[in-house]
Amino acid sequence: MSKVTLNDINVSYDGKTQILKGLNLEIGEGELVSLLGPSGCGKTTTLRVIAGFIIPSSGQLFVDTEEMTKVPVHKRNFGLVFQSYALFPHLSVYENVAFGLKLRKMEKAEMDRKIKEILEVCDLTEYALRFPKQLSGGQRQRVALARALVIEPRLLLLDEPLSNLDAKLRLNMRVEIKRLQKKLGITTVFVTHDQEECFSISDKVAVMNGGVIEQFGTPEEIYSRPKTEFVARFIGFENFIQLRKTQENTYRANDGSLFTAKMDCGKSECLGTIRPDDIQIVTNEEAAGNTVTAKIEVRTYLGKSYQYELSTPIGRLVVNDGSGALYKAGDTIKIQLPAAKIVLV
Amino acid sequence: MRKNKFLTFYACLVFGFLFLPLAIIAVTAFNTAPTISFPISGFTFKWFANVFATKSFLSGFQLSFMLAIVATLIALLVGVPAAYALSRNSVRGKKLLKSFFLSPTIIPGIVVGYSLYQFIVLKLKLPVMQGLLIGHFLVVLPYVIRVVGSALEQFDFSIEEMAWTLGCGKAQAFFKVVLPNISSGIVAAFMLAFINSFNNIPVSMFLSGPGVRTLPTALMNYIEYFYDPTVSAVSVLLMAATIAIMFVVEKTLGIGALTK
Amino acid sequence: MKKQSTILLIAPITILLVVVLILPLLAVLLPTVFEGGAVTLSRYIAFFQDPYYIKIFVRTLRIALVCTLVCMILGIPTAYFISRVSKKWRGILMSVALFPMLTNSVIRAFAWINILGKNGIVNQILSALHLVDQPLSMLYTEFSVLVGTIYLFLPLMIITLVGVMENIDNDMMEAAESLGASRLLSFVKVILPMSIPGIITGAVLVFTGAMTAYTTPQLLGGPKNMLLSTLIYQRAMTLNDWTGASVVALVMIVTTLIVMKGLNAIAGRLDKRGEN
């Protein structure tokens, strides 16, 4: 098991465009850490720095206490799984998996044992003699994984490994990867743009934007307490309200109405944000604090709930309501923003 | 890409090998000395003047140019319909037919020239000119079949069917819908065919007669008797024309059109 | 489309090819296997018993083979290099490779006359450096034919290979490296095997081209280094030995076809992997 430290990493393209800007990241032993962000945020670049395909213009990469910033790719012994899988089309499944072991000049019988073992673990035994073209997407994915794992890598690096699979297979593979990773206790970096996938699989998540890590923490922390507006928007907070602090836990919106929030933002002006699921539609009788009168603009059926787009004195808000009560466009309703659910960024 | 010094160096050497001989020719074309020497002793245009004073080059150029155009047009005329028929529907023996249409590539040019000379000129006593035209037609036909064929493979035939449903007749749909959409393939085929006909020697070598001699064969003849930079000057003119063609192709179709 | 219209579309080309290609070929080649009304291979047997012809035949094969190998050695790394540079540079390098191919072969051979001749550039440099007293005679040798032929066909090899190699994903190389292979080893173990079908296609084109090229051996070989193609011309035009020329022509066609079919069969078998 290995610990990974990225220390003030800078990467620029053509010496002009900064792709990574002083990136710092610490990954603990045996952890599965996801790099999450929109395309162009630098997550794949970060992975490629760790893998050794990119030498950063400044900064260091440590694995345990060993500096590896400039070690050539083939001497790093990190297992890599590509989005395209990059299986060698001229080699069978068995030979693909054997590729890395052959380079390690391993004894034949030992090699054979290891390959069979990993094929077994990855549920590929019966496909050993097939060629990549003859496999389904999920099988190819498992071969790529087996090929990366069989060399007993110090780190496992996964670059959007599930994005070429259909939705159902994706779910299975996600569980499978997590299971293998925990079983082998291998420190893993997982690059993805899919937040659900990321939250379900990771021990920790680094949300990236514009070449920096905006927030690093457990999935729960990030899901419930995004630290920046970008993170909040990226993980599904759709409602944003400009607030000014008036006293402890009390904030004034632009229209003058007052809201209470459990959280403290530590500044005089901040942005209050809340998920569409957390806003409640209330009747006049129940209405206490944190309520807003809203007019329904658009209603969308989502299956388990209805989504309403509202115009309110504090701006446009989106609410998901699964209570069963049905409103129509043009109706005026009262909504409540629970103080405990308001996150201040 | 992560650079590899050795590979870059190796590729530079290869490109030097490809490029230098032609560069040397270009330099010698402006040399004053009558025998080819290096480094050059002085700068002159007299070899270029000599080119335009040499009758066989002028008439050769004229013949080669006309021949390339006419042979290519004939090849397009019979080649495009055939390529269309082959890609439009599943003709039985499609593969066999296609390889038959491409068969002139299998027969070495020297054999094509030789057999046409014997059959057309000696046996049938037809003029050399007709043999030459036929020979060049055979040289260029495979380019037409291949390049137009691959353009048709990219073509989405549901567009043609759409035209039919809108009231277009078959022929009208072909000219109004199919042809405009494969026009870049046809232009590429034309360019490749033209260049290859213009440059051809083995076929033309046999099929020359009094007053009928293409530019490359005239050049070849000239080299066998004279050794002066006039040939270099012709080369420079032809290379300049090639560069012009490549430039136009790159700006319009992309240089990839000539690598098919 | 109806059957009739298909026939109508392919009829002109078919008739034309039969009349202007097949008929003349048969008219020229068939008489070589008839003698006094009976079918005979005697002329071909005679060809392969004549040491002079055998020498030319073997020389032609040797030059074609060496030329193909050298084109592979020079072309494979260069094509890989071209396939990995940025799109803009790839266009430029492809143009540079394409340019000689679009230049007349007389000019290309003429360039080598200037370089390898008695007063050529190589000799001028060597004597300027006092490395030789007498100019080397490199022109009108098998060596000059070989160099000229390589020069003729290297662009074809490179362009064919780039077409195959640019479709190989960079991930392949990176995957091999991540598994512990150095770049050279990754190239040898992954890129090279994946390019084999393209390499064979290129080899077929170069080999058959070199087997049948006429201009270059004519200009750079001289009468002492005849190849099959120059032999046909000499038999026919200088000696008026029409049957002899036809025999050489058929030998040439058949040899080319055998090599082409053989190599294509190998390519076909190698390419089958994974196709169900």
CATH number, domain containing residue B245: 1.10.3720.10
Instruction: Tell whether B33 is within 8 A of chain C (Cβ).
Output: no
Residue C183 has pLDDT above 70, yes or no: yes
Grouping H, G, I as helix, E, B as strand and the rest as coil, residue A268 is: coil
Q: Which residues of C touch A53 (CB under 8 A)?
A: 174
Global pTM?
Answer: 0.87
How many CB atoms are closer than 10 A to CB B170?
A: 13
From the list A191, A120, A192, A174, the residue with the least C-alpha distance to A149 is A120
On the question of pLDDT at B72 being above 60, the answer is: yes
| Overall residue count recorded for chain B in this entry | 260
Report d(CA C273, CA C264) in Å as an integer.
15
pLDDT for C273? 59
Element holding A308 (H helix, E strand):
strand A306-312
Interface of B with C in 207-246 (CB under 8 A): 216, 219-220, 223, 231-232, 234-235, 238-239, 242-243, 245-246
Query: Are the Cβ atoms of C180 and A74 closer than 8 angstroms?
Result: yes
Gap between the Cα atoms of C239 and B117, Å rounded: 15
pLDDT at A256: 85
Which residues in chain B (171-200) have CB-CB distances under 8 A to chain C?
195, 198-199
Other C-beta atoms closer than 10 Å to the C-beta of B49 total 12
Closest CA to A3 of A50, A73, A48, A56: A50
Nearest to A41 by CA among A207, A289, A217, A220: A207
Rounded Cα–Cα distance for residues C79 and C163 (Å):
9
On average, the pLDDT of chain C sits at: 91
Cα–Cα dist B178/B186, whole Å: 11
Among A13, A99, A163, which would you mutate to test the C interface (most chain C Cβ atoms within 10 Å of its Cβ)?
Answer: A99
Residues B16 and B76 reside in one and the same domain? no
Chain C residues in contact with B202 by the CB 8 A cut-off are 212-215, 229
Query: Looking at the domain assignment, is residue B49 inside a domain?
Result: no
A270 min Cα distance to partner chain C (Å): 45
Concatenating the DSSP letter of every residue in B156-204 gives: -THHHHHHHHTT--HHHHIIIIIHHHTHHHHHHHHHHHHHHHHH--HHH
Q: What is the pLDDT of residue B76?
A: 96
Put simply, whether B7 touches C (Cβ < 8 Å) is yes
User: What's the half-sphere exposure (Cβ side, CA atoms, 13 Å) at A99?
Assistant: 34
Max Cα distance, chain A (Å)? 79
User: Chain B: residue nearest C2 by CA?
Assistant: B89
Q: How far is CA C47 from CA B110, C28, C51, C60, C250, in A?
A: 19, 17, 9, 15, 11
Task: For chain C, list the domains and their CATH numbers.
Answer: 1-40 (no CATH), 43-271 (1.10.3720.10)
Q: Which two tokens stand for residue C27?
A: 């008219």
C-alpha to C-alpha distance for A14 and A255, rounded to whole angstroms: 49
Q: Are B109 and B6 contained in the same domain? A: no
Smallest Cβ distance to C175: which of A80, A90, A134? Answer: A80
Token pair listed for A31: 């952890």
Tell me, letter by letter, the H, E, C secondary structure of A206-246. Answer: EEEECCEEEEEECHHHHHHCCCCHHHHHHCCCCEEEEEEEE
- Write out the DSSP string of chain B: ----HHHHHHHHHHHHHHHHHHHHHHHHTTBSSSS--SS-S-B--HHHHHHHH-HHHHHHHHHHHHHHHHHHHHHHHHHHHHHHHHHHS--TTHHHHHHHHTGGGTS-HHHHHHHHIIIIIIIS---HHHHHHHHHHHHHHHHHHHHHHHHHHHS-THHHHHHHHTT--HHHHIIIIIHHHTHHHHHHHHHHHHHHHHH--HHHHHS-BTTB--HHHHHHHHHHH--STHHHHHHHHHHHHHHHHHHHHHHHT-GGGGG-
Question: Do B24 and B149 belong to one domain?
Answer: no
* B23 and B60 together in one domain: no
CB contact under 8 A, B110 and C1: no
Residue B130 has phi, psi (to 5 degrees) of -70, -40
ipTM: 0.91
B37 versus A199: which is more confidently predicted? A199
Q: Are residues B20 and B61 in the same domain?
A: no
- In this complex, which of B38, B89, B111 lies closest to C253 when CB atoms are compared? B111
Does residue A256 belong to the interface with chain C, where contact is any CB pair within 8 Å? Answer: no
Structural contact between residues A51 and C178, judged by C-beta atoms closer than 8 angstroms? yes
Q: Give kind and range of the element (H or E) at residue A18.
A: strand A17-27
How many Å apart are CA C267 and CA B47, to the nearest integer? 49
| Shared domain check, B64 and B185 | yes
Residues C84-107 have a mean pLDDT of 93
Indicate whether B132 belongs to any domain.
Answer: yes
**Widest Cα–Cα separation across chain C:** 77
Is residue C120 within 8 A of residue C220, CB to CB? The reply is: no
Query: Nearest Cβ partner of C159 from B107, B250, B259?
Result: B259
Contact C171, C84 (CB under 8 A): no
Please work out, in degrees rounded to the nearest 5, the angle formed at the alpha carbon of residue B92 by the alpha carbons of B87 and B93.
90
**Do the chains contact at A51 and C171, CB–CB below 8 Å?**
no
Query: Does residue B1 register a pLDDT over 70?
Result: no
φ, ψ dihedrals at B239, nearest 5°: -65, -35
Q: What is the mean pLDDT of residues B160-189?
A: 90
Which of C180, C183, C193 has its CB closest to that of A100?
C180
- Taking CA atoms, C96 is separated from B23, B187, B244, C166, in Å, by 12, 21, 14, 17
A-contacting chains (≥3 CB pairs under 8 Å):
C
CA-nearest residue to C71 within chain B is B14
Instruction: Please indicate if any CB of chain C lies within 8 Å of the CB of B100.
Output: yes
Q: Decide: C142 and C225 in contact? Cβ < 8 Å.
A: yes
Cβ–Cβ of B238/C103 closer than 8 Å? yes
Summarize the confidence of residues C176-182 as an average pLDDT: 94
Same domain, residue pair B1 and B60: no
Contacts of C29 (CB under 8 A, 6+ apart): B115, C246, C249, C250
**What pLDDT sits at residue C130?**
87
- Classify the C-alpha dihedral A278-A284-A287-A290 as positive or negative: positive
CB C251, CB B111: distance < 8 Å: no
Measure in Å the smallest separation between the Cα of C256 and chain B Cα atoms.
8
Burial class (CB in 10 A: 0-12, 13-18, 19+), C184: exposed
Chain B residue at shortest CA distance from C159 = B259
Mutate to test the interface with A, among C179, C192, C195, C275 (most CBs of A within 10 A): C179
Asked if residue B241 has pLDDT above 70, the reply is yes
Q: Which residues pair with A292 in a beta bridge?
A: A335
Q: Walk along chain A (345 residues) and give the pLDDT tens digit of each residue.
A: 789 999 999 999 877 788 999 999 999 999 999 999 999 899 999 999 999 999 999 999 999 999 999 999 999 999 999 999 999 999 999 999 999 999 998 899 999 999 999 999 888 999 999 999 999 999 999 999 999 999 999 999 999 999 888 888 888 889 989 998 999 999 999 999 998 899 999 999 999 999 999 999 999 999 999 999 999 999 989 999 999 988 888 899 988 888 988 888 778 888 999 999 999 998 776 667 888 999 999 999 998 899 999 999 999 999 999 887 889 899 999 999 998 899 998
Residues 6+ away with beta carbon under 8 Å from B116: B131, B134, B135, B203, B206, B207, C20, C24
Contact call for B14 and C121, based on CB within 8 A: no
Same domain flag for B128 and B156: yes
Please report whether residue B219 resides in a domain: yes
Interface membership of C85 toward B (CB under 8 Å) = yes
C37-46 contacts: CB < 8 A, separation 24 or more? C43/C243, C43/C247, C44/C247, C44/C250, C44/C251
Q: Are the beta carbons of A193 and A199 closer than 8 angstroms? A: no
Closest chain A C-alpha to C276 CA, distance in angstroms:
6
Taking CA atoms, C64 is separated from A305, C57, C160, in Å, by: 75, 11, 18
Size of interface A-C (CB pairs under 8 A): 78
List, in order, residues 6 or more apart from B255 with CB less than 8 Å away. B246, B249, C91, C94, C95, C98
Judge if B75 and B6 occupy the same domain: no
Distances (CA, A) of B8 to B19, C84, C169: 16, 11, 20
Question: Which of C177, C190, C275 has the CB atom closest to A73's CB atom?
Answer: C177
| All domains in chain A, ordered by first residue | 4-229 (3.40.50.300), 238-344 (2.40.50.140)
Chain C contact for B81, CB < 8 A? yes
In sequence order, what E strands does A257-290 have?
A: 258-260, 269-274, 280-282
Range name among A164-168, A217-221, B59-63, B71-75 with the lowest pLDDT average = A164-168
Nearest to C1 by CA among B177, B88, B79, B82: B88
Is there a single domain that holds both residue B209 and residue B165?
yes
B152 and B80 part of one domain: yes
The A291-301 sheet, strands edge to edge: A280-282, A332-336, A291-301, A306-312, A315-321
Residue of C nearest to B124 (CA): C24
Amino acid at A249: N
CA A185: distance to chain centroid?
A: 20
- Is B11's CB within 8 Å of C81's CB? yes
Q: How far is C110 from chain B (nearest CA, A)?
A: 8
Suggest the residue from C178, C188, C199, C269 to mutate for an interface test with chain A (most A CBs closer than 10 A).
Answer: C178
Query: Partners of A334 in the beta sheet?
Result: A282, A293
Peptide bond into B210 cis (omega under 30): no
Q: Measuring CA to CA, how many Å separate C17 from each of A21, B103, B104, C14, C228?
A: 67, 9, 9, 5, 25
Residue-range definition of the domain harbouring residue B215: 54-259
Does the residue B127 lie in any domain? Answer: yes
Domain count, chain B: 2
In the sheet that A17-27 helps form, which strands lie side by side, from edge to edge? A17-27, A4-13, A58-63, A66-67
Q: Tell if the CB–CB gap between B134 and C20 is shorter than 8 Å.
A: yes
Return the residue matching tokens 């430290």: A5
Lookup: tokens for C72: 């592979």
Residue B36 has pLDDT above 70, yes or no: no
User: Do A82 and C175 count as a contact with CB atoms less than 8 A apart?
Assistant: yes
CB distance C97 to C236 below 8 Å: no
- Whether residue C276 is predicted with pLDDT greater than 50 in this model: the reply is no
A103 vs C177: CB contact, 8 Å cut-off? no
pLDDT surpassing 90 at residue C54: yes
Phi-psi map region of A303: left, alpha, beta (phi>0 left; psi -120 to 50 alpha):
left
| Contact flag B118-C242 (C-beta cutoff 8 Å) | yes
Q: Are B23 and B101 in a shared domain?
A: no
Q: Is C114 on the interface with B (CB under 8 A)?
A: yes
Contacts of A151 in chain C (CB under 8 A): 179-180
Q: Which residues contact B24 (CB under 8 A, 6 or more apart)?
A: B38, C111, C114, C115, C121
Phi-psi region of C165 (alpha: psi -120 to 50; beta: other; left: phi over 0): alpha
